[in-house]
A and B are shown apart, each in its own frame.
Chain A
Amino acid sequence: MTVIGEESAGDSGEAGMPGTGVVPGGDDAYVPSQRRIERERHKRARARRATAIAALSTLVTAAVVYLIVVDAPGWPRTKETFFNAHYAREALPKVLDGLWLNVRLLLVCGVAVLVLGMLIAVARTLRGPVFFPLRVLAAAYTDFFRGLPLIINLMIVVLGVPALRLQGVTVDPVLLGGTALTLTYSAYVAEVFRAGIESVHPSQRAAARSLGLTNRQALRHVVLPQAVRRQVPPLLNDLVSLQKDTGLVSIGGAVDAVRASDIIVGRSLNYTPYIVAGLVFVALTIPMTRFTDWVTARVDRQRAQGGNL
């Protein structure tokens, strides 16, 4: 829609009053000119018209799509198989029960992934010959776990590790599955962090060092804050991806949202529960995606303002 009062400067005087321009000199008794009022009325009318047209065209499109879908051959069967209200009602509570497991996994693994990823990224970017083995190890780790298919990783950890019967190692499929997810995703996130660290201009580090900061202090106070801020959008991307992949821990028998729907499908041979579980995941992901967009836009705005010299 149209922006109202675009001529007003950043700090608005009386909020909600369109067109409160701030006059240099701070005169409170600002009266918008007749012409301005006219112009804004015109703009509002235009906006209303645009909204009406958009609504109408949306309605028409929806009606057309609806008719096409409903008239398509096989629609009744599709509806029965994929959009069956009875099975949707049965599946939803069970899927939501299972989803709680996905959410918990996401929270715990998310934190673990961020911490581990940061450690690996820092290890890879350490300077000095003494750290060579550490750099090699970190590089090997990221290469291996980025290349290893997640499903194989999960099978090895969730199904294979318990067979070792190691003292003190858990056999809980959820914990094992979370471990596998953390291994893979920390490799992704480490690369994201490393790209961020390397994108900070060397002059920043040089300037910090010239001010007498040690290497560690320069990293901690100058380089990492900039690196992390820049990498927020791709990090959130990985988080969204992790959220969807939590469903894969069900191979260990744990009943999450995906497996809960699977159980009902297996018994009923009706595929509505899959749709329900899928939509629930989508509903969970959309806010995160929007949040990602918002953060990205905000970071861009900050960068665009040219705050840094």
Chain B
Amino acid sequence: MHLAQRALRRAASGATVALLALAVGCAPQPEENASPKASGTGAQTCAKGKLATKTSGKLTIATDEPAYEPWFKDDKPADGKGFESAVAYAVAQQLGYGQSAVVWQTVPFNKAFAPGEKTFDFDINQVSISAERRKAVDFSPGYYDVRQAVIALKGSKAAKAKSIADLKDVKLGAQVGTTSLDYITNVVKPKQQPAAYAKNDQAKSALKNGQVDAIVTDLPTAFYITAAEVTDAKIVGQFENQGGTPEQFGLVLDKGSALTPCVTSAVDALRKDGTLAKLEKQWLSDAVDAPVLK
């Protein structure tokens, strides 16, 4: 009897904990809460500055550390310099959160779009939108059309490549979990196994130290690396988009986040009024064009 009661009590408390967990959104969350389609208005849900953010009255924006140029400047996401920092503040402005109401948070690149509850309102970290990632997180519309580029040390065999076929027998490297690595495995299909690094920094130093012949990053990063960090490297060329659709960076939100429609309409508005184009010109104007490798 006694035991049975205890078991019951335990079950009840367990259920309470589970319910609480459910309430705060730990697993198991309900599958797929249909996020309302952004209708552009969303006035009732997207009241300026009064969104259901993680910390009320503040907008928590996440990015990785170090935050790379030209997306951020001097590893300080909070100063509004660099393309993504500027975009983040522009989106915040649209949502009704001024500079002082924005809180930055460090979240590793791979963690940003991994399944599970998020500690941020949205993450801005050169995350390419993809169908597989969409299963785990919500994305805003793309705020930047990105191309992937190959960087090699000047004078190396890889630097002379004119086509994708010329890259087949060089040692390539990229960061794990990036579309850059996907381009190597799916487009180049090199004979040697590509090196996969936990961070882009390691890929850069591997290139510098001759551990790989060439690395793949997105084009603006490639321009920055060759201009400032590994100056004896050059951009060999850029890839055409896979499957004909442009690859885009998007803001990452928790799956089924209440903010998704609001952020979506904010990004759409910024694209429409030319803000995104302006910021792109301001921060990424170097990233013009590189020869396309076919």
Distance of A289 from chain B, by nearest CB (Å):
30
Question: Would A269 and B195 be within 8 Å (CB), given that A253-B203, A253-B206, A253-B212 are in contact?
Answer: no
Contact A159 B176 (CB under 8 A): no
Judged by DSSP, the binding face of B is loop
C-alpha spacing A89/B27, complex, angstroms: 26
C-alpha spacing A250/B210, complex, angstroms: 17
Complex interface bits, B165-178 against A, C-beta within 8 A gives 1, otherwise 0? 00000000100111
Contact B132 A163 (CB under 8 A): no
Which of B27, B28, B177 touches A267 (beta carbons < 8 Å)? B177
Residue of A nearest to B114 (CB): A269
Which of B115, B195, B206 touches A81 (beta carbons < 8 Å)? B115
Q: How large is the interface on B (under 10, 10 to 19, 20 to 34, 35 or more residues)?
A: 20 to 34
Distance of A87 from chain B, by nearest CB (Å):
11
A259 interface residue (CB < 8 Å to B): yes
C-alpha spacing A42/B27, complex, angstroms: 55
Question: Would A269 and B113 be within 8 Å (CB), given that A162-B209, A253-B173, A253-B212 are in contact?
Answer: yes
Q: Which residues of A in the span 230-268 have a Cβ within 8 Å of any Cβ on B? A: 250-255, 259, 262-263, 265-268
Complex interface bits, B207-218 against A, C-beta within 8 A gives 1, otherwise 0? 011111000000
Contacts of B136 in A (CB 8 A): 269
A74 interface residue (CB < 8 Å to B): yes
Judged by DSSP, the binding face of A is helix
Contact A172 B176 (CB under 8 A): no
Which of B133, B178, B195, B212 touches A255 (beta carbons < 8 Å)? B195
Q: Which residues of B in the span 133-159 have a Cβ within 8 Å of any Cβ on A? A: 133, 135-136
A171 interface residue (CB < 8 Å to B): yes
Complex interface bits, B196-235 against A, C-beta within 8 A gives 1, otherwise 0? 1110001101101111100000000000000000000000
Can you report 17 A-B residue pairs in the complex whose CB atoms are below 8 A from each other? A77-B27, A77-B31, A162-B205, A162-B206, A162-B210, A162-B211, A163-B208, A173-B206, A252-B195, A252-B206, A252-B211, A253-B211, A254-B195, A255-B193, A269-B113, A269-B132, A269-B133
Q: Which of A's residues lie within 8 Å of B, judged by CB?
A: 73-74, 77, 81, 159, 162-163, 165, 171-173, 250-255, 259, 262-263, 265-269
Q: Which of B's residues lie within 8 Å of A, judged by CB?
A: 18, 27-28, 31, 110, 113-115, 132-133, 135-136, 173, 176-178, 181-182, 193-198, 202-203, 205-206, 208-212
